[in-house]
Structures are given as C-alpha cells and as structure tokens.
Structure 1
Amino acid sequence: MSTANILDASLNIAAADRPPLALIAGPTASGKSDCAVMLAQELHRRGRRCVVVNADSSQVYADLQVLSARPTHEEMGGIEHRLFGNWDGSQSCSAADWAQTARHTISAIHAEGALPILVGGTGLYIRTLLEGIAPVPAIDPGIRQAVRALPVDEAFAALRQEDPERASRLAPADTARIARALEVVRSSGKTLAQWQAETSGGIGDAVTVYPAILLPERQALYRRCDLRFERMIERGALGEVEALLARQLDPALPVMRAIGVPELAGVVRGEWTLEEAIARGSQATRNYAKRQFTWLRHQPPEDWQRVSFENFDSTYLHDILFRIFHLT
C-alpha cells in the first residue's frame, strides 16, 4: 500500500501513476467530518476540487439521517459528498458491497480531475477498500444456525480447538466475531486467516494514500459522545426510529441494529423511558467509540499519521490538520 504524509495541492491527478486519496479516519464524535470539509474548502481555495466520500457503516443508510449523524446540507459546507444515505434500510450494506461501490466512486472522482477525501471510522470498510476482500464462500445455513445457537463460552471453547490462532486474537465475549470465525472454519474447512491470505480487489496499490487518524483524548471524546446522543434526540431521532419500526423491517438488518435504534425502539414500545434510552444509547456510543479508537490506534499501517489532541476547537483542529498535510 502506497502511503505518504504530504498532500501536494498542485498535484496533477491525471498525470499521477497512483492518484491521490486523502483519508481522515477517527472514532465517532471525533470531528472527522468537519475536518474533511475544512480540508476540502482549503484545497478548493487553492484551485483543487474535492469530493468527500463516506466510509461510515451507519451513514450509508438513508433511514439514519439523525442517528448516524450524517452531515446536513449546511454541514457539508458547499462540498460535494458521496455515498451518504445511498442504501435503503431494507438492504444490508456489507463491507464488500460498500467497497465495490467506493472503488467505482473514487475512480469516477479521479476521472473528473478531483481529489477524493475518504472520511469515516468503520475500519472494516477502509481495510476492505484498500486491501481487498477474502473470497470466503457462502456459509452453509445449517452450520450457521448451529453456531449462532451456541452460548458464547461454548463457541469460544470450540474456536480455541478449531482455529486457535483466531481465538487468541478475540475477547472471550466477542460473540459476533467468534461466531463468524467458527462458522467459516466449519463450513469451508479453512480458517479466516487462510481465506484472508487470498484477498483481492483492493485499491491500496493503485492509489497514494494521504492519511490522518484522529485520536482525541478519551474522556473528552466520551463527553462528546454523550452530548451527541442528546442532540440526536433534539433533532428528531425518536421520530426516525418510529418511521423505521413502521416499515416492519427484519430486526436482524444492520439498520435495525444501529446504535440508537434498539434503545429508542424500547421507548416506542413502552419498554422503558426516554431517559433510560438516552443513558443506554450514550453508553452504546461510548463503547463503539472505544472499539474504533483501539482499532485505529493499532491496525492501520504504522506510518499513517496519528493525531492525538484534547482541544476540539475548530481553529485548533484546522491548524493541526493543515500542518499534517503541509498546507500551512
């Protein structure tokens, strides 16, 4: 994967062997969307057209304008945004689905002579786009049902026997990842690691990535998570969930499991109060931010610029970001 730290605003995209792809990644509520817009606006002032491309697994769904904190027209700041709200909630957008669409979108932006700025915090989306996807065959339905019916401690014990390498990398309570690894090895006879060694379709070797990973001080980030969820309520998140429930979608769909939907669905059904839903939703947001933070700190290439900060002041972030991309 080709990476660099300096974004040359005068770069001729059409002449580049590996066209540029700016990337601003960070956990939820870290300010990455605002940073992407600030970068795009600055480059626009320097004569470079930019397009922000979404890499957030919740913001792809049209039904989650509020609960995904999808940028409003005003927050887009006059910059074109793509892959925001492109999927209907009745459709599951997997990492492979998104990456395929993102590849075409980024290629089209380059063909237009513009700079794509990828922004998001879904590590699996980013990794799949850049590194490709493992050709894991469809899981046998019977095996999937049997694995998913196992208590997590039994599934983890089985995984330690059948794929000890993967088990060593997972927390014993990580229900989803344990089940996925176990169903793959039982259905295909090969471990996830073996399949991942055969990845294909990534664009990492075809572009030059200019990355910035935002890693705010954790307690400050968690306070922003709490504030964000409260503001979502003020902006109509409850009505958004009521509309989703009225569609009677499959509860297993990603849109129905997005943070805030189960919590507020309980309010609609009369199972708990709005105050309890806010507490649950805020905690779920903090938990998600913590997982993203850990992934972004350790998983991307070591030469990707990590940006640690405590001050969320826009001017302060503006200065940090522009120093990273050598625009000041």
Structure 2
Amino acid sequence: MAGIGAVGQPVQGGGQSSGQTYRGPFAIMTVLFFMWGFMTVWNDILIPRFKEAFTLNYFKAMLVQFAFFGAYGIGSLIYYIISMFSGDPINRIGYKNGVIIGLLIAAVGSALFYPAAMLTSYPFFLMALFIVGLGFAMLQIAANPYVTILGPEHTASSRLNLSQAFNSFGTTIGPIIGGWLIFTFFMKSGAHGADSVKIPYLCFAGVFVLLAIMFKFAHLPSFTNTDHISRGAGALKVPHTALGMLAIFMYVGGEVAVGSAIVNFLGSPKLGGMPHEAASRYLSFYWGGLMIGRFMGAFALTLILREKDSESFITCYSAVR
C-alpha cells in the first residue's frame, strides 16, 4: 500500500517492540474477521434469490458480485491515490478509527437493503452492495495490518492466519444460516421474492453499528508510525507486487465465481433440481473445503517445506486449486 512504511514506535503499548501480546484486542478483531466472512458469503445466496425474484439472466445476476467486489477495487484505488499524494490516511486517523469508519459504511449499505426491498429495485440493491463493499474494503485496509502488530513480530503471521481462519469459519456457516433465513424463514407467500432479505440485512446493519460502538469504547492500543513515510508509488515500483496482484485477482475470481454458481447449478432441473435452501447447504461444503485447504497449506508452508521449495509448492498448489 502506498505510503505505508514499517511500524515505528507505537504511541501506546508497543506490541512488536516490547513483545507484549494484546489478547483482548485480538479477540475483538477476530470477531470482526468472522463477521465480514459471514456476510460476504451471503452474496452467493443473494444471486439465486435475485435471479428468481427479478427474472434475471446469469449475467445480470452476477452483477451482485461485480458491485460488491468492484467496490473493493474502487475503494482501494481511491485509498492508494490519497496515500500517494498525501501520505497514508490510516497513519493519521489510526487503525481503530479506520475500522470504525469501515463498520459504519457497511452498516449504511446494509440498511439500504430495506428501502431497496420496499421499492423492489435491483439497481438499488446493487448500490447498497457497492456501499457495503466500500466499508469492507476499509475494514481490510485497517484490520489486516492491525492484527499483525498486536503482539510480537515473530508471531504476526500466526495471528493473521488465526483471524483468517475465523473469517473462513464465517464463510462456512454463513450459507447454512443465510439460506434458511432468506429461502425459508423470511419467505412470505404472495410477497416479492426480494422481500425476504429486508430483515436479515437490517440486522446486519444493527450488528455493524454495535461493533462500531464497541470498538469506539474498547481499550485498543493505538499504533502510529514515527518513521518518515515517503510519498509516491511505494511497493508498486516492485514488479513482483503487480504480479502478486494479478495472481490474487485470478485466484479470488475463480474462487468467488464457483461459489456464486453452486446454488443455481444444484437447483437446475436438468441437474440436481434441489430447492435453494437445500442447495445452500452444499455451498457450505465448498467454503468449508477451502477453509480446510487453507489450514493444510499453511501447515505445509510452515512445517514441511524448506524455504527454497516454497515457491514451487505455491505454484503447484495454486494450479491444482
């Protein structure tokens, strides 16, 4: 990220420099990782719901993911441009405030699902998803580096892996709960199909506001960078950064595309012919398998492989996936 240097002497605490581990703040951050994984995977439930409710073809139905993840790209680009010319915003406002801002933006987007359902407007839903995506982009920017500095430097990767594991756990149980709520519990006979998403996403908005309040009053350590932070392109000057971005783009695109199609695929009369709620349970197997694969990959990289073999392993592992 442009303008982000190494974390210098913190204002409070000093997790990496002193070896102190902040278990309480780390637990709070882990809840946050779980929540955004839990909600993100609901996009895979929204696609078949909106496809049926608005009589969409697959291209238009997949705009759900385009709106959501497009916000990631646009939000990150805006953040990068600001960082390039004015310095890193997170270093000025702090990680804690960055998380709070992200939560409040996501809460606004989630709350907009209610008027979108009342107006039965698919473009309105896409706009709401875009706003949620902007909030999650801010959360990613603030939360990922914050987790790495909540303790000794040599255990930073372990903390991030554990937080991401809870994120994956959220994506695993999300389809089961979301499928039941949207396709069964809140589904009313005679009502428009999109009506069933009103209450769940209004609840998401409430949860995000509560999390923002909790973060506001939580005693979280405040870290700032006292080193000089140079402006400019930053890490993008390194060719490997662009290649890594391309690799992540391809990987996430493949992962999300498969998950987005599973419910409609299994519900097709020519294939499984399953009701959407039943098909959403199989979606949990998909995301659960990815969670297990992440654990296995992390274990192999840290305990089995020699450093010189890790690059070859990553290439082969990615090709198999």
Q: Under a length normalisation based on structure 1, what TM-score does the superposition of the two structures give?
A: 0.25
Q: TM-score, normalised by structure 2?
A: 0.26
